[in-house]
Chains A and B, each alone.
Chain A
Amino acid sequence: MLSLKEKDRPIVGKLLCAGCCVRCVLRFCCVGTCSAYRRSYELLAFISEESSPQPHDASGEEKTDEPPNKRLRIDEGSTEGSVTAAQTDSDICPVCLGVLQDFCDPTFAKQVSDAVKNQQYEFDSLVLTVSLPAQLSVREHSCWLHVKKEIREKSMCLGKEDVIQVKDAFKWAVQGKIGQELGAAVLANVSSSCEVSVGFMHPETEEDCHFLANTCPDCFKPTKNKASIFTRMAVVKALEKISEEKFSRHYPCPPKKTNTRCTALDTTCLHTSVFIAGRYNKFSRELPQTPWVIDGERRMEGSVEELIAAPLLSSFRADGRPFAVELLNPHRAKFNRTEIKQLQETINQSSDKIRVRDLQIVTREATSRMKEGEEEKTKTYSALIWTQKAIESTDLEFLANIKDLKIAQKTPLRVLHRRPLAVRPRLIHSMSSIYLDRHHFTLKLCTQAGTYIKEFVHGDFGRTKPNLCDLMKTNADILELDVESVDIDWPPAIPD
């Protein structure tokens, strides 16, 4: 049961003299068992055993351990006479600044859990992240240097990396209680879960880091806003670079005690994004894909994006265009098959202008497959063409003989406000036509993905070359455009 051994005694003694809390002592003794950090009054008993050569009292665990406490106080050489409850140290630990003391109590864990509950997230598992003020690294380093000799005497192969980090000790201490309160498993890494962030700050000691800017100036980059240059990463880097001797000259080892402990920042939650994909068909020519807003003014009501994203529902039948929606920071992420089908129904019933099918939750990686399709795959379109000159059906025959026509398209004027100016080489794989009358015909095209069909037809001020006007030697315009198919087999079809 005892994590601490005889050989830890010199380390324990030195740390207690410096005013370290119980959990920090365990950390520097490289105790790696999570359970050891959970209950402080047990720990105090262990520590008091170690710090005193007297045999321990077998029944001493549950009592408010006055004698051990007094022994502790004597060892510390503190002048404070009053004895406090065994569970709390009245002195703030100069290394963790209280993070591993009162903040490891069940009351704080409950506070964190309540904050999460208030934000109304639904999840089965969560990840706990802790952010500590940068100066804690400085104090940690100082304490390490203070007991380095004793640690090496305990075992030559121990280094700073073997000392348990404050973050880990804190998580081990509180995650059980938090998991219990929230009814969720606390995981070590982020998969599909909720991230609960607990942060601490300590304004009193913010200047602890400042000497590093003088000793290791190249570690600190100037920041654009008024943000502090003493980021955690920069401080850690500087501590790796600075020599022991230089550090000890600028900073006391062990670190000095403080008057205040850390303050906790508000607990925040963030759920990883959920991706929903499906296929849609658009049945109205007056519906834009995305909301059409110019200078803050809405030009046309509704859009495919809004119809799908707002409710998020489904439909049946026919090939449609694949789409994916990223839902940021969802408060709820788990839906079963039936619920997804229900969502699909709601979308389809909300408007007769679109129909969605194969709605499903997918991973972020899967969406990049869809984007690949934009580059590599082909698309088939059907367009209603008007020609200025009168045509006969024989005039259209040559179109069927054109294979893999290379065209160069400058960024169309109609999208130039939001795309970079460039020339895009594209291929028109094949075409076929259906004669309608002397000035109209239907043109079917199979093109490389990314081809601007409208501009291929009317030429876009001659900025797409060659274009249909050149081929047919007349002014031409496009009156209607339909997507026939998008030749990509994603997302997987969902049987009804």
Chain B
Amino acid sequence: MEDSEKKAPSVIDRYFTRWYRTDLKGKSCEDHCILQHSNRICVITLAESHPILQNGRKIKNINYQISDGCSRLKNKVSGKSKRGGQFLTEFAPLCRITCTDEQEYTIFSCIRGRLLEVNEAILNKPDLLLEKPSTEGYIAVILPKFEEKSKSVTEGLLTREQYEEVLTKRNQQEEPC
């Protein structure tokens, strides 16, 4: 067997499809990556172009309390059908992240569905989000609403190719992120 740095497809490559939402709520470059498992469960992560991951930023605080009445940490699901999970629309906030330069970013659900869990590991170790945004630094796990056709969940989301086109266009226009 040859030496390989990363030849074999990763866990994500094997099981997931990458979808993207860019410029969330009109905010430049605030891109999210939705990892859709073959069993339709979705993991919300920061896309590699998200501002938080640029320019060596550090995270000061991550807050799952998105309003007076709602904390994503209080989410509780039970049973196989995951009853009790907080219902999310595409623009439901998952958490607010404040960086050391006082910049504040909101991370959004991007899909309609039931919240299964948020990543509590990043509360204790925010660096996980910076170092491994696609794996251990994930934000949340969501069970999408549409069960009949997993395709309709991804309506309005960009494929990997479309996302890369957006990035190319940005570079050409030299938009600062």
Chain A residues at the B interface, C-beta cutoff of 8 Å: 294-295, 299, 386, 388, 390, 410, 413-421, 436-440, 458-459, 461-462, 477, 479
Q: A294-B38, A414-B37, A421-B116 are in contact. Are A461 and B135 (CB under 8 A)?
A: yes
B32 → chain A, closest Cβ, in Å?
Answer: 16
> How big is the B interface, by class?
35 or more
Whether the pair A462, B3 counts as a contact (CB closer than 8 A) is no
Known contacts A438-B3, A458-B11, A461-B138; 5 further A-B pairs (Cβ under 8 A): A295-B40, A295-B149, A418-B39, A420-B82, A462-B132
When C-beta atoms are compared, the residue in chain A nearest to B132 turns out to be A462
Instruction: Tell me if B128 and A462 are in contact (CB < 8 A).
Output: yes
- The answer to whether A477 touches B8, judged by C-beta atoms less than 8 angstroms apart, is yes
Q: Do the beta carbons of B80 and A419 come within 8 Å of each other? A: yes
Contact of A477 among B10, B117, B128 (CB under 8 A): B10
CB–CB B39/A294 < 8 A? yes
A375 → chain B, closest Cβ, in Å? 19
1/0 per residue, CB under 8 A from A, across B11-51: the answer is: 10001000000000000000000000111110100000000
Closest beta carbon of chain A to B116's beta carbon, Å = 6
B6-A416 in contact (CB<8A):
no
Contact B135 A462 (CB under 8 A): yes
Question: Does B53 lie at the interface of the complex (its beta carbon under 8 Å from any beta carbon of A)?
Answer: no
Q: Which residues of A sit under 8 angstroms from B117, Cβ to Cβ?
A: 410, 421
Q: Are A416's CB and B4's CB within 8 A?
A: no
A437 touches B41 (CB 8 A): no
A473 to chain B: closest CB distance in Å?
A: 13
List, in ascending order, chain B residues with CB within 8 A of A390's CB.
Answer: 3
Q: CA of A459 to CA of B137 in the docked complex: distance in angstroms? A: 12
A388 nearest in chain B by CB position: B6
Minimum Cβ distance to chain B for residue A359 (Å):
32
- Taken together as a complex, chains A and B put the C-alpha atoms of A458 and B9 apart, in Å, by 13
| Bound-complex Cα distance A477 to B15 (A) | 13
- B148/A295 in contact, CB under 8 A: yes
Question: Contact between B8 and A414 (Cβ–Cβ < 8 Å)?
Answer: no
On chain A, the residues within 8 Å of B79 by CB distance are 420
Contact (A417, B135) CB under 8 Å given A388-B6, A462-B121: no
The 9 sampled A-B contact pairs (Cβ below 8 Å) are A388-B5, A416-B41, A416-B141, A420-B82, A421-B116, A440-B1, A458-B11, A459-B136, A462-B121
Is B77 an interface residue when CB atoms closer than 8 A count as contact? yes
**What A residues does B116 contact at CB under 8 A?**
416, 421
Top 8 closest pairs, chain A to chain B, by CB: A462-B136, A417-B39, A458-B11, A437-B1, A461-B138, A461-B135, A421-B77, A416-B41
Q: Which residues of A contact B143 (CB under 8 A)?
A: 416-417
B80 and A413 contact, CB distance less than 8 A: no
CB proximity to A under 8 Å, residues B134-177: 135-136, 138, 141, 143, 147-150
B78 located at the interface, meaning its Cβ lies under 8 Å from any Cβ of chain A in the complex: yes
| Bound-state Cα–Cα, A124 to B116, Å | 53
